[in-house]
Amino acid sequence: MSRKQRKMLCRIIVAAVVWAAGFLLKHIFNTEERFGTEGIILLVIFTASYLIIGWDILWKAIRNIAHGQVFDENFLMAIASIGAMIVGEYDEGCAVILLYQIGELFQSVAVGRSRKSISDMMDINPEYANLEVEGEAVRTDPNEVAAGDIIVIKPGERIPLDGEIISGSSALNTAALTGESALRDVTVGDEVISGCINTDGLLRVKVSRPYSDSTVAKILELVENSSENKAKTENFITRFARVYTPVVVIGAVLLAVVPPLFTGDWAAWIYKALTFLVVSCPCALVISVPLSYFGGIGGASKCGIMVKGANYLEALSNAQTYVFDKTGTLTKGSFSVSEIHPANGVTESALLEMCAGAESGSNHPIALSIVDAAKQRGIVPAAENAREIAGFGVTAEVGGKEVSVGNIRFMRKLGAECAEAESTGTVVHCAADGGYAGYIVISDEIKDGAKSAIAGLKKLGAAKTVMLTGDRKATGEAVAAAVGIDECHTELLPDGKVALVEKLYSEKPEKSTLVFVGDGMNDAPALARADVGIAMGALGSGAAIEAADIVLMNDNIENLPAAVKIARKTHAIVMQNIIFAITVKVLIMALTTVGIGNMWAAVFADVGVAIIAILNAMRAMRIKRAQ
Amino acid sequence: MKKTFKLQDLDCANCAAKMEAAIKKLDGVKSATVSFMTQKMTIEADDAEFDAIVKRAAECIKKVEPDCTVILK
């Protein structure tokens, strides 16, 4: 609690004690006489309590009315409470203002708390960098470090700028950015991302870009600006509030004047009108909507899901069409050996050893993936006299055999008997001493969790899942089938992707939204065209952070259904609050008009509803981490 | 030009909404948001008149909540 809040708490306690004393006396005296000695004593006690707790409201009411703010909440509260005192309901009038202040205090503590917990979470701003100047580390403002400079990062320090390790190795804690608790091992030659924490080793890093372009600066900018993008619901509620208060106040005036003209019962109707004024404040509504979205965005960032604004979270909650880019989103974007088919009489490892040996001198991604696969099985690829035969493949001596590795034409040329392989990836055939030895298939690996992520989205009511790719038909369709995507479009050029998003846009169910998920590298136009553009694995990619509306910082695609769940939950909380607050207020007004409600009920409708709505809104921040 | 300012002692969500509505109506303001949650105001307006517009926006804020001040960096 801040000093201001503690002071208010003291005032509330003192005023409440005085009020309770007055309330007790009222029941002891049990008098109807307002201007007898006992009546005057009660008036003095309740006025004292009122002034202790309400002087600032009276002061603000006067000041704001001077500024022409007629429908100011302080003014309305002042009228309602003073009115009640004048009508003779001292305890109620005083309680209205007391409870109002309790509600305000509660609200300010709750909001302060959620603000703090979110700003703590976003506390990734590096305060300094240890710049190496002539062999010595000098503390410097990260803004003053240029690309190419060398910085030193000690254990326990936050990495201030993006760069490449030139000496040292360590484990990095990326939790603040990705929500992942597992440490990331890094060593010489690896790229490090600003915002991560160096846990054990001393690192020397060559800075790759200035602070203003660093990952941290990009994320902070995203977070800073996220409050500008307000959700439609929030704009609706503020518009509603602008109409609501005047309508209720006019209703109160009519209630105070019109019925008594016929019945003559002025005091009773004025009391009802004052009750209206108590519920005229739209605060519960106005505060709970942005608080919920703020909490939802904060909770999402805990899981490494950065949302650029409440509007995107709102749009995501209505998503029914999900469009995916293939490479880098559903697949890892790196090649690896997926199948090994040795011919009769050859073992898998022998085939792999021959292929890896022959390819060991090459830098081609496919060759590298074969060598990697061999190393994983403990095979050390080695070959002699490797020769490349352009357009066909490679020939080399592996373990005393003449091994040829390449495409099917190469096999035919060598006279090795082989059949066309049925596969969706790149096929590499192998022959040893002129006899066919089998083939290896290399394909882009499907990401772990891609299948369950798609299944998760379908469970959340996805009407359609679509995959777009520039790849061959067979490859694309195989990936789509493997992960459970409904519709697949292959062999697309980049502008073809936008055209297809456009087409899917016109086909999507009414009032639902379209989500495009990509890696942000070459699908920026499609990301921009979709209602919600989501970039995957954006850690270290400033371009992706800029292009997308929602950024999944880590590479875990299962964060996608998690993001949808967070959006749904937040939206549900917002709707609950709106419906609850409006229902209670309308109900209280109706009951008051027919004579059942009283000021106590009205105070509940104002303060109680606000507190319940705020507590409900704070639920949005509590998110179970997706694993 | 688009710039963000911190607001001090912005105590009420409805006031923030009122401020935003008032600032949006000012001449020369292209867009404006007042965020109660982050206690920040963002104004986008013509470069030439920017400072004058910020000053008028600060007046709007004072009118709604006299205790609330704009921190001009």
Residue A493: the pLDDT is 77
- How confident is the model over A545-565, as a mean pLDDT? 86
CA A146/CA A208 separation, integer angstroms? 8
Question: For strand A319-325 and strand A513-518, is the pairing parallel, antiparallel, or unpaired?
Answer: parallel
Q: Which of B25, B52, B63 is nearest to A68 (CA)?
A: B63
Residue A627: the pLDDT is 40
- How confident is the model over A156-167, as a mean pLDDT? 90
Whether A316 shows a pLDDT value over 90: the answer reads yes
Among the partner-chain residues B18, B21, B37, the one whose CB lies closest to the CB of A290 is B37
- How confident is the model over B5-22, as a mean pLDDT? 87
Q: Between chains, do A228 and B36 touch, taking CB under 8 Å as contact?
A: no
Highest mean pLDDT among A276-280, A320-324, B14-18: A320-324
Q: Between chains, do B38 and A283 touch, taking CB under 8 Å as contact?
A: no
Q: Which of B57, B72, B62, B68 is nearest to B8 (CA)?
A: B68
Give percent of chain A with pLDDT exceeding 70. 97
CA A354/CA A359 separation, integer angstroms? 9
Whether A163 shows a pLDDT value over 80: the answer reads yes
CA A550/CA A527 separation, integer angstroms? 10
- How confident is the model over B7-34, as a mean pLDDT? 88
Let me know if A388 is exposed, middle or buried by CB neighbors in 10 A (0-12, 13-18, 19+): middle
Whether A283 shows a pLDDT value over 90: the answer reads no
Residue A331: the pLDDT is 85
Residue A568: the pLDDT is 94
The residues that bridge with A325 in the sheet, in sequence order, are A468
Residue A625: the pLDDT is 53
Q: Between chains, do B35 and A67 touch, taking CB under 8 Å as contact?
A: no
CA A314/CA A298 separation, integer angstroms? 14
Any idea which of A183-197, A252-266, A340-354, A417-431 has the lowest mean pLDDT?
A417-431
For chain A, list residues whose CB is within 8 angstroms of any CB belonging to chain B: 60, 63-64, 67-69, 73, 104, 108, 111, 115, 224-225, 227-228, 230, 238, 241-242, 281-283, 286-287, 290-291, 294
Assessment of whether the complete model's pTM goes beyond 0.90:
no
Q: Does B8 touch chain A (CB under 8 A)?
A: no
Rounded to 10°, the helix A37-66/A73-87 angle is 160
Among the partner-chain residues A104, A230, A282, the one whose CB lies closest to the CB of B33 is A230
Among the partner-chain residues B18, B37, B39, the one whose CB lies closest to the CB of A291 is B37
SS (H, E, C) A304-328: CEEECCHHHHHHHHCEEEEEEECEC
Question: For strand A170-173 and strand A435-446, is the pairing parallel, antiparallel, or unpaired?
Answer: unpaired
Q: Between chains, do B35 and A282 touch, taking CB under 8 Å as contact?
A: no
Average pLDDT, chain B: 88
Residue where the block lists tokens 């890093």:
A205
CA dist list (Å): A352 to A77, A370, A384, A562: 82, 8, 16, 40
Q: Does B12 touch chain A (CB under 8 A)?
A: yes
CA dist list (Å): A508 to A167, A516, A528: 52, 13, 17
Let me know if A521 is exposed, middle or buried by CB neighbors in 10 A (0-12, 13-18, 19+): middle
What backbone torsions phi and psi does residue A120 show, to the nearest 5 degrees?
A: -65, -40
- How confident is the model over A333-339, as a mean pLDDT? 80
Tokens linked to A515: 């989500």
What backbone torsions phi and psi does residue A354 show, to the nearest 5 degrees?
A: -65, -45
- How confident is the model over A189-199, as a mean pLDDT? 87
Give the DSSP H or E segment for A287.
Answer: helix A283-302
Tokens linked to A190: 């690896």
Tokens linked to A325: 């880019």
Whether A626 shows a pLDDT value over 50: the answer reads no
Label residue A207 by pLDDT band (50, 70, 90): very high
Whether the CB-CB separation of A331 and A555 falls below 8 Å is answered with: no
Tokens linked to A116: 């703090």
Tokens linked to A162: 């993006």
Whether A617 shows a pLDDT value over 70: the answer reads yes
Q: Between chains, do A242 and B21 touch, taking CB under 8 Å as contact?
A: yes
Domain ranges of chain B: 2-71
pLDDT higher for A265 or A564?
A564
Q: Between chains, do B63 and A69 touch, taking CB under 8 Å as contact?
A: yes
Which residues of chain A make contact with B33, given a CB cutoff of 8 A? 227-228, 230
Give the DSSP H or E segment for A397.
Answer: strand A393-398
Q: Does B1 touch chain A (CB under 8 A)?
A: no
Closest Cα in chain B, distance from residue A524 (Å): 24
- How confident is the model over A231-257, as a mean pLDDT? 89
CA A352/CA A373 separation, integer angstroms? 8
Whether the CB-CB separation of A416 and A313 falls below 8 Å is answered with: no
Residue A538: the pLDDT is 61
CA dist list (Å): B19 to A56, A76, B16, B49, B62: 21, 19, 5, 20, 9
- How confident is the model over A195-200, as a mean pLDDT? 88
pLDDT digits (tens, 9 = 90+) for B15-26: 888 899 999 999
Give the DSSP H or E segment for A459.
Answer: helix A450-459
Residue A419: the pLDDT is 76
Average pLDDT, chain A: 86
Closest Cα in chain A, distance from residue B48 (Å): 23
Whether the CB-CB separation of A313 and A293 falls below 8 Å is answered with: yes
Label residue A541 by pLDDT band (50, 70, 90): low
Residue A13: the pLDDT is 93
Residue A539: the pLDDT is 63
Q: Which of A38, A46, A41, A37 is nearest to A17 (CA)?
A: A46
Q: Does B72 touch chain A (CB under 8 A)?
A: no
Whether A456 shows a pLDDT value over 90: the answer reads yes
Q: Which of A141, A330, A281, A297 is nearest to A231 (CA)?
A: A297
Please give the residue of chain B at the shortest CA–CA distance from A69.
Answer: B64
- Biggest CA-to-CA distance, chain B: 32
Which residues of chain B make contact with A105, given a CB cutoff of 8 A? none
Residue A406: the pLDDT is 86
Give the DSSP H or E segment for A501.
Answer: helix A494-507
Question: For strand A150-153 and strand A184-186, is the pairing parallel, antiparallel, or unpaired?
Answer: unpaired
What backbone torsions phi and psi does residue A308 show, to the nearest 5 degrees?
A: -85, 0
pLDDT digits (tens, 9 = 90+) for A136-156: 888 989 888 988 899 999 988
Please give the residue of chain B at the shortest CA–CA distance from A282.
Answer: B14
Residue A226: the pLDDT is 79
- How confident is the model over A393-414, as a mean pLDDT? 85
Closest Cα in chain B, distance from residue A74 (Å): 11
| Contacts across the A-B interface (CB distance below 8 Å) | 61
Neighbour count for residue A238 (Cβ, 10 Å): 22
Amino acid letter at A615?
L
C-alpha distance across the termini of chain A, in Å: 35
Label residue A477 by pLDDT band (50, 70, 90): confident
Residue A35: the pLDDT is 75
- How confident is the model over A282-310, as a mean pLDDT? 86
pLDDT digits (tens, 9 = 90+) for A8-36: 999 999 999 999 998 888 888 877 777 77
ipTM > 0.95? Answer: no
Whether A178 shows a pLDDT value over 90: the answer reads no
Which residues of chain B make contact with A63, given a CB cutoff of 8 A? 66
DSSP characters over A25-60: HHHHH----SSSHHHHHHHHHHHHHHHHHHHHHHHH
Whether A123 shows a pLDDT value over 60: the answer reads yes
Whether A199 shows a pLDDT value over 50: the answer reads yes
Whether the CB-CB separation of A279 and A492 falls below 8 Å is answered with: no
pLDDT higher for A114 or A549?
A549
pLDDT digits (tens, 9 = 90+) for A586-612: 999 899 888 887 888 888 888 888 889
Whether A206 shows a pLDDT value over 80: the answer reads yes
Q: Between chains, do B20 and A228 touch, taking CB under 8 Å as contact?
A: no
Q: Enumerate domains of chain A plus CATH numbers.
A: 3-119+227-293+569-621 (no CATH), 129-160+162-208 (2.70.150.10), 310-331+446-548 (3.40.50.1000), 336-443 (3.40.1110.10)
Q: Which residues of A are marked as active site?
A: 325
Whether the CB-CB separation of A567 and A313 falls below 8 Å is answered with: yes
CA B23/CA B60 separation, integer angstroms? 7
Q: Does B69 touch chain A (CB under 8 A)?
A: no
Among the partner-chain residues A227, A238, A291, the one whose CB lies closest to the CB of B17 is A238
Let me know if A421 is exposed, middle or buried by CB neighbors in 10 A (0-12, 13-18, 19+): middle
Q: Between chains, do B63 and A68 touch, taking CB under 8 Å as contact?
A: yes
Residue B73: the pLDDT is 66
Pick the CATH number of B2-71 from 3.30.70.100, 3.30.465.10, 3.40.50.720, 1.10.8.290: 3.30.70.100
CA A278/CA A80 separation, integer angstroms? 6
Q: Which of A266, A171, A292, A167 is nearest to A569 (CA)?
A: A292
Interface of B with A in 43-62 (CB under 8 A): none
CA A111/CA A118 separation, integer angstroms? 11
